[in-house]
Structure 1
Amino acid sequence: MTRLTIGEFATRSRLSPKALRLYDRLGLLVPASVDEATGYRSYEPGQVERARLIALLRGLDMPLARIGELLALAEESGPAAAADLARYWADVERDVAARRGLVAHLRARLSGEPGGPSGEGQTVESTDRYEIRTLEVPERTVLGERRHVLAGELPLWIPEAFGRLARAATERCGGFAGPPFVAYHAEVSEESDGPAEVCVPVADPAAAARYAAEGGHGAALSLRVEPARRVAATRLTKEGMTYPRILTAYAAVEDWLREHGQVCVASAREVYLEPDWDGAAPTDVVGEVQYPYGPA
């Protein structure tokens, strides 16, 4: 069977030679042969179908690494690959839905549309309706792990850090004295790395101090006493706590503070009220955004 030059193959597959060289380098579409002397690539005509499949998947903005995984799965089972594609697209649609809410909030904010609370505990008009409540949080001793981290790293780091701190709290520090939370000391996004701090309130401050002094947990461990504070908070479903949808909840609490002449006096935090996060349904209330506040 006659092989195709990279130019001929590019024409048939409707991919540029530059893209073909990239896909070769990543192992997605390896040429049938490469001339040792000239480096010229040639392809089998039967590889056109794989090239078109890659191009179509890229049309969905699927990352190249994810395409490689799907193609490998397709070699084993077409139905399994189709199911994997369906899961990928469901994730995309959830992300689009979350971003749609954020766009609506930003449009309202930019256009100066009215929407704010008329009194403490009233509903805040943001992208969705958020019920803002205020509560007193007592003084407490908190174990924490602080790290500079980007948004994409949070889903892995947060549960790992919670696991380490939960073991320390249970085995060495008298147990929990409140729900765990993540404090954001500066913005965490794909460009800004915080820092963020995973925190667990503990019941035995003296035992926690001994544990911290031993240094066995590592340099990332922090121990502090948080003073009693008044916080403005809004409760969220599991779906509502996903990024970037949760940004509208932060904005709703910020709007409430501004409307009431208050300012944030400590780091905003996400509080996790549901111990069984994995078992919770998307519509279950699992946590809340809290802002410690005081007069402006």
Structure 2
Amino acid sequence: MTRLLGIGEFARRSRLSVKALRLYERQGLLRPAVVDTGNGYRRYREDQLGPARLVALLRRLDMPLAVVARIVAAPEDDRAGLVAEYWAEVEHRMAVQRGLAAHLRVVLSGGKGLLEMYEVKQREVPEQVVLTEQRHLKQPALSAWIEDSTDRLLKIAEDYGGISGAPFVIFHGELNEDSDGPVESCVPIGVAEPPSGVAARVEPAHREAYVRLAKAQVVFPQILSAYDAVAEWIKENGSTIADSPREVYFADWDGAGPEDEVCDIAFPMR
């Protein structure tokens, strides 16, 4: 027969406080095996120590109780994967917050340290034919539209030999919570002239300055620091902005981790 432990001994051996045990009981996460109806004493089975110790360790990760409950209730073979999934979300959130903190430092200091945040490079971009889709929209709808429009253009590109370069998005006007662009999604295709019957045009050859961002940096509003850095670099190096800024998506977004490079912020210049 499994031995029953009083709440004090169970707390000591499980590395949980009595207060925590009472909270987890109310939450339905870790219920006593027996509650004496006369005096209210709680007793736990000795075989509940394993789940209780797991709860204690998970809480040391600052894991929300709802997530802890899901992991404790999961089959043992699934628990490691759930912890890995949770921690990947934590690392992504921390990377995003780190970028936001850096952006705020620059904003609150009047732009000091902006160019030190990024390595600005130059490159020549050849003329290319692109399939396009344009839209007036505001910043909260941008990410979903970029994904959807790129998917639509990639499907059309299959009829013209597939894509010949990285998809990119051009911001022809200011885009935020109050202004709506317009914004243009572009997918390069390997043909000499724009095909008829679809929205396509020639994107002229140009020289551009750019910075490369990790996935966690491609978040509004901290991404604005990258735009500001490229524009400032162009000015400081005696050049001028020649056309609208763009985001060039050269990597698999869904498969990328928070620190993986996925996007260039670029300005055509002369």
TM-score range, shorter chain: 0.5 to 0.7
Q: In the TM superposition, what is the alpha-carbon distance from 1:93 to its structure 2 partner?
A: 6.0
CA distance in 2, matches of 1:173, 1:271: 21
Structure 1 residues 262 and 227, CA gap change in structure 2 (3 angstroms)? same
- In structure 1, the partner of 2:196 is 210
| Counterpart-to-counterpart distance in 2, 1:203 and 1:196 | 23
Q: Partner of 1:137 in structure 2?
A: 125
Is 1:234 aligned to 2:211, yes or no? yes
2:162 is paired with a residue whose SS is coil
| Residue 182 (structure 2) pairs with residue 195 (structure 1) | yes
Q: Is the 8 A contact 1:142 1:202 kept in 2?
A: yes
Q: TM-score normalised to the size of structure 2? A: 0.63
Which residue identity is paired with 2:253? W
Is the Cα contact below 8 Å between 1:137 and 1:231 reproduced in 2? yes
Quick one: distance in 1 between partners of 2:142 and 2:132?
A: 15
Q: Shift of residue 95 of structure 1?
A: 5.5
The alpha-carbon deviation at position 104 of structure 1 amounts to: 0.8
Match of 1:146 among 122, 127, 134: 134
Distance 2:266 2:238 in 1: 17
Please give the alpha-carbon distance, in whole angstroms, between the structure 1 residues aligned to 2:197 and 2:157.
10
- CA deviation after TM superposition for structure 1 residue 260, in Å: 1.2
CA drift of 1:267 comes to 1.0
> Cα–Cα, structure 1 residues 210 and 284, in superposed 2: closer, same or farther, change >3 Å?
same
2:178 partner letter: E
What CA distance in whole angstroms lies between the structure 2 residues aligned with 1:238 and 1:99? 13
Q: How does 1:6-155 map to 2 (within 5 A)?
A: 79=69, 96-109=97-110, 113=112, 115=113, 124-125=115-116, 128=117, 130-155=118-143
- Give the C-alpha shift of residue 108 in structure 1: 3.0
Are residue 265 (structure 1) and residue 224 (structure 2) matched? Answer: no
CA distance in 2, matches of 1:239, 1:166: 24
Cα 1:109–1:166 change in 2 (3 A) is: same
Say if 1:173 and 1:211, in contact at 8 Å, map to a contact too.
Answer: no
Q: Which residue of 1 aligns with 2:226?
A: 249
**Aligned equivalents of 2:189, 2:147: Cα separation in 1:** 18
- Would the aligned equivalents of 2:96 and 2:216 in 1 still touch at CA under 8 Å? no
> 1:179 corresponds to which residue?
166
The aligned length equals 191
TM-score (ref. length: structure 1): 0.58
Taking the aligned partners of 1:235 and 1:273, their CA distance within structure 2 comes to 10
Q: What per-residue deviation string (whole Å, max 9, x for no partner) do you get for residues 16-36 of structure 1? A: xxxxxxxxxxxxxxxxxxxxx
Check the 8 A contact 1:98/1:243 in 2, yes or no.
Answer: no
User: What secondary structure, in the 3-state scheme, does the structure 2 residue paired with 1:164 have?
Assistant: helix
- CA RMSD for the aligned pairs? 2.7
C-alpha contact (below 8 Å) 2:96/2:217 kept by paired residues: no
Q: Which residue of 1 aligns with 2:10?
A: none
Residues 49-78 of structure 1: CA distance to partner in whole angstroms, max 9, x if unpaired?
xxxxxxxxxxxxxxxxxxxxxxxxx8xx99
Tell me, yes or no, if the aligned pair for 1:233 and 1:291 is still in contact at 8 Å: yes
| Matched letter for residue 286 of structure 1 | V
Structure exhibiting the larger radius of gyration computed from Cα positions: 2
Shift of 1:146: 0.5
The CA deviation at 1:97 is: 3.7
CA distance in 1, matches of 2:153, 2:109: 40
- Partners of 2:215 and 2:94 lie apart in 1 by 16
Distance 1:162 1:248 in 2: 25
Percent identity (aligned): 38
Give ranges in structure 1 of 5+ residues lacking alignment.
1-73, 117-123, 213-221
